[in-house]
Every structure is written in C-alpha cells, then in structure tokens.
Amino acid sequence: MATFAQDDDSVVVVIGSGAGGGTLANELCQRGVNVVVLEAGKRESSATFINDEWGSFGQLAWLDKRTTSGSWRVAKDFPNLPAWVCKTVGGTTTHWAGASLRFHEHELRARTTYGAIKGANLLDWPLTLKELEPYYGRAEDKMGVTRTHDVPGLPGNNNFKVFYNGAVKVGYKDCNTGHMAINSRPRADRGSCQQYGFCFQGCKSGAKWSTLYTEIPAGEKTGKLELRTECHVARIEHDAKGKVTGIVYFDKDRKEQQQKARVVCVAGNSIETPRLLLMSASNKFPDGLANSSGQVGRNYQRHTTGSVYATFEQPVNMYRGTTMAGIVTDEAHNNPKRGFVGGYELETLSLGLPFMAAFLDPGAWGPQFTEAMDNYVNMAGLWIVGEDMPQESNRVTLHATEKDQWGLPVPNVHYDDHPNDVAMRNHAYKQSRALYESVGARMVYIVPPYPSTHNLGTCRMSAKAKDGVCNKWGQTHDVANLFISDGSQYTTGAAENPTLTIVTLAIRQAEYIAKQMNTRAI
C-alpha cells in the first residue's frame, strides 16, 4: 500500500470506499492515478463478519446521530435511523443483497416519459442507456453478475420456491433467481455461494461482491492507493478561484488532519455527501459547495419500498440461503393505467428472528404480533422496490442545533411520500398479497418500509447547471475538480436496486477524470 504526504497536492482524494468510492479509487489507480481514500469506518473482512443480526448491525451500520422529519413512518419508528447504510471499508457493499439490474431506457428519461407530475421535480438524466451500456457490461463482469457474461444463475432457496409458485399462479411471466453479484461458481479468486443466508451481515464466504475484498485490494496492489480508515471528513477546502484544494478530517484519534488534493471525489452515500458539501460552506460559497442551483441535499429518494410476509401451513425456513433469492420483473415497466407512473420489482427477502421482531411492525405488541412470530418458520417474504418521485422538499439539511461526536451539525432527513409513491406501494402490496394467497397463505403481513437502504439523488446530475449539482460525468457544475461519485448523482431513482448503476457510473467517471487530468483540464 502506498502512503502519500498530507501536503501532496497531486493526489485524487476519494471520500468513501463503497460501491462508488471503492470502484472509482481502483479504476483510477489502474489508470496510473495516485489516490487517497478516506473511510470513516474500520476495515473488517469475511473472517470478522458475524452471522448475528444485531451483532453485525453494531459492527457495520452507520450509527452516528441523525434526525428525521416528514410524514414517512420511518421518522416515527426510527427517528434517529433514517437509513440502514454502513460505516466500514467497503461501505454498504458489505451489507447489500447483490441484486444487479440495469436501468430501462425510459427510466433515464423520466420527465419526458412520465410528463409533468404535480409535486415531483422530475428531470431527464443527461445520459442515454446507449452511453451506459458498455460500462454496464464492464461493471457486470467486474462484479460477476449472474445471468450475464455466461455466469449461471443461482439456485433458488425455499423462500424462492414459495415466491416462484405464487408468481406463476398469479400469471407473472418473469420470475427467476435474478441478476445477482454473488458467485454461482468460483470466479475472480472468490468462491461460490454457500447459502449461509446473512447476506446483509457481510458475506462470510466472499461470494457476494464487495469493494472490501475486490476493488480496494486491487487498487492497493498497484501501489497507488492509500486507504485511511476511521477518518471522518469534516470539510472540503477551496482556493480564491473556487477550485477545491483538499480536505480536513478527523483521524481515529479524533485529531484534525488535512490532505491536499488535485481532485476531490465525494462518495459518502446520499446523506453524508450533501451534508459534507453543505458543511463546506464559505464566504465564496455561502450556501454550500457546488450549490449554486440550490439542489444540494434536495430530491432525496429512497425507493418506494415495503415488505410482505406470509405464513403457511408448512415450514419454509426462509432464512436459509441467499437473502434476496429471486425476482419478479413483470411490474417494472411504466403503465400509468395501474394508477401511477414508473414501475417496481418484487424481490424475495428474509429476516432472521431478531430483525423480524424489530421490523415486522415497529412499535407493535400484543397477540397479533406474537402470533406472527410464533409462525416464523412457516413464513415467506418479499420486498418491494420501485421508483419514487423526486421532490425538492425531500431533503438532507444540517440540523440547527444537534451536533455529532466531532462537533459537526448532524444531518436531518426529511421525507414525505408523493401520492404516486403511495399508489405504487398499495398496488405492490395488493399484488404481493395475491401472490402469497394463491399458494395458500394463512396470514399475510403488510410491512412498512425499513430505514432506507437505497439513498439517492441528493446531488443530482443535470444537463443544465441551474437544475442540478453535477454534469453527466458527476463533475460538479460549479467546481471543475470536485466530483460526486455515489448514488447522490441519480437524477431519478428508477425501479432497480442501485449498486450496479453506481459502479457503472464510477467506472465511467474514472475514465473521464484520468483523461481530464492527462489533458490538464483539471
């Protein structure tokens, strides 16, 4: 591993080591660029991951104080946990389920396709699917996505069997074990899936792709990557011309440090990324860095989600094997006749006994709740993931008074469902209920959204500087050597789990940054 001096202003600083930051860092190193990665969390490994839901949550989750507001139920149930994301090397790629789906063409043109939707701040992406396709291909190859590049699909578990039979019964045509970044065969020096379950707790076999044991070590091997763990970035600094010059951070001993940089790339996930830009406000940029549009922190999207669990006469043991074991894509298209624009996916999901208690119906108690828990082994489950509407008022802001352990203002996450989100969720609940009832469900449990795992859109891409924060390369409109490198770039959310597209954008961005550096444009 390389080490760079703190006053070395030739390096690219990448903040965050997850899907966006970890991939970008490695791709830059492969192109000969020197990179310093700042990661707020510690470095774990498959050996240190724990098959224990609460234990692992304490090990991996981002638990710094956050506050919430708005009418979403998460604000009531989990007022200080708006998002279920990670603070660890590899970021949320340690916790993700592995679903890796490409956008549909129409989803990149949401404003054009859906039209003007009242209350929604829709905008077309400044990108086409054709531009993304070669990078999607490279991302899928890198991640070993099943059903691409001749990688076979994964075998379905018991939870999938229930899901599949129900899907067939209600007439769905596209149900299979999905496109998953989980090795179904040994590949790329990693073994194949052993069906432990516990995909959300860090993969013990390393079969599931994570930047922790792919991109980060590959970057380190080039001798051009320095990873600094337990370093929390507090501020991005700039010069009189408005170019960024480096960052200020707190190291693991809570000491303030700095790192000079030629380019700064922010990939802290869609709450920390806008928070950092807002905290970097200065006389020159009084509303925060790269915020001349006023869009930093706005258009926060979290996907229209929800879960449905059902109990049956006989055992399912849904927790055995991959957490997200299959998908129905029949509802992913745009068909406004259903009463909403955009689409959604249905994906199997399981929770262990401890998390089922916490998430089945947060705050619930009494016999109805305990009856569901009594039937835990006979339970099957799925998760809904659909496109939610970007709204300007759904946003990440800095709390006026609350401070975190560094003395920095905590982020507040405000979210209200859009009527389109509610209509979509209700449709998905109805379809899911029918799916499970068609195969003999005794009870069906409609479960509200968990804290957000898909956090998107808070520094969105736009063709015009007035509409968003960054251009089609993730380069901020206001500051040429400042990049957004995570899901914050999302112009609109689409119906697909976001990691594949974040990785795709990171590969593409690395190519662009390297070229811009070579031509001295930045």
User: Given the rule CB under 8 A, which residues bind another protein?
Assistant: 50-55, 57-58, 152-158, 160-162, 164-165, 175-177, 184-185, 192-198, 204-205, 313-317, 319-321, 326, 352-354, 356-358, 363, 365-367, 369-370, 373-374, 376-377, 439
Residue 353, token pair as written in the block: 């006994």
Residue 450, token pair as written in the block: 């968990």
* C-alpha separations of 353 from 350, 356, 433 in Å: 10, 5, 22
Which residue, among 497, 297, 399, 490, has the nearest Cα to 80 in the 3D structure?
Answer: 399
118-137 exposure pattern, b = at least 16 Cβ within 10 A, e = fewer: eebbbbbbbbebeebeebbb
Q: Shortest distance, CB of residue 170 to another protein, whole angstroms?
A: 14
Q: What is the residue whose two structure tokens read 């249905």? A: 346
Indicate left, alpha or beta for 275 from its phi (over 0: left) and psi (-120 to 50: alpha): alpha
- Euclidean distance between CA atoms 405 and 485, whole angstroms: 26
DSSP state letters, 9-58? TTSEEEE--SHHHHHHHHHHHHTT--EEEE-SSB---TTT--S-HHHHHH
Nearer to another protein, 169 or 338 (CB): 169
Q: Shortest distance, CB of residue 490 to another protein, whole angstroms?
A: 30
Q: Shortest distance, CB of residue 226 to another protein, whole angstroms?
A: 31
Nearer to another protein, 54 or 406 (CB): 54
Q: Shortest distance, CB of residue 46 to another protein, whole angstroms?
A: 10
Cβ atoms 35, 28 nearer than 8 A: yes
Nearer to another protein, 253 or 365 (CB): 365
Residue 226 forms beta bridges with which residues?
Answer: 36
Q: Shortest distance, CB of residue 149 to another protein, whole angstroms?
A: 15
Q: Shortest distance, CB of residue 195 to another protein, whole angstroms?
A: 4
Q: Shortest distance, CB of residue 373 to another protein, whole angstroms?
A: 7
- Euclidean distance between CA atoms 408 and 402, whole angstroms: 8
How buried is 242 (Cβ within 10 angstroms: 0-12 exposed, 13-18 middle, 19+ buried)?
A: middle
Nearer to another protein, 379 or 461 (CB): 379
Pairing assessment for the beta strands 304-311 and 443-447 based on DSSP bridges: antiparallel
Which residue, among 271, 242, 252, 308, has the nearest Cα to 522 in the 3D structure?
Answer: 242
Cβ atoms 249, 259 nearer than 8 A: yes
Residue 180 forms beta bridges with which residues?
Answer: 99
Nearer to another protein, 154 or 212 (CB): 154
Nearer to another protein, 436 or 490 (CB): 436
Q: Shortest distance, CB of residue 229 to another protein, whole angstroms?
A: 21
Which residue, among 362, 453, 420, has the nearest Cα to 73 in the 3D structure?
Answer: 362
Nearer to another protein, 201 or 269 (CB): 201
**Residue type present at position 93:** T
Q: What is the residue whose two structure tokens read 């940054």? A: 513
Nearer to another protein, 233 or 327 (CB): 327
Q: Shortest distance, CB of residue 70 to another protein, whole angstroms?
A: 22
Nearer to another protein, 28 or 167 (CB): 167
Nearer to another protein, 28 or 85 (CB): 85
Q: What is the residue whose two structure tokens read 């899911």? A: 432
Q: Shortest distance, CB of residue 148 to another protein, whole angstroms?
A: 14
Nearer to another protein, 50 or 423 (CB): 50
Mapped to the 3 state alphabet, what secondary structure does 191-204 carry? CCCCCCCCHHHCCC
Angle at 213 between CA 210 and CA 218, to 5 degrees: 115
Nearer to another protein, 59 or 485 (CB): 59
Q: Shortest distance, CB of residue 293 to another protein, whole angstroms?
A: 40
Q: What is the residue whose two structure tokens read 């279920």? A: 84
Q: What is the residue whose two structure tokens read 């006389």? A: 283
Nearer to another protein, 326 or 493 (CB): 326
Q: Shortest distance, CB of residue 72 to another protein, whole angstroms?
A: 20
Cβ atoms 276, 268 nearer than 8 A: yes
Q: What is the DSSP letter of 159?
A: H
Q: Shortest distance, CB of residue 6 to another protein, whole angstroms?
A: 35
Radius of gyration of the chain measured on its C-alpha atoms: 22
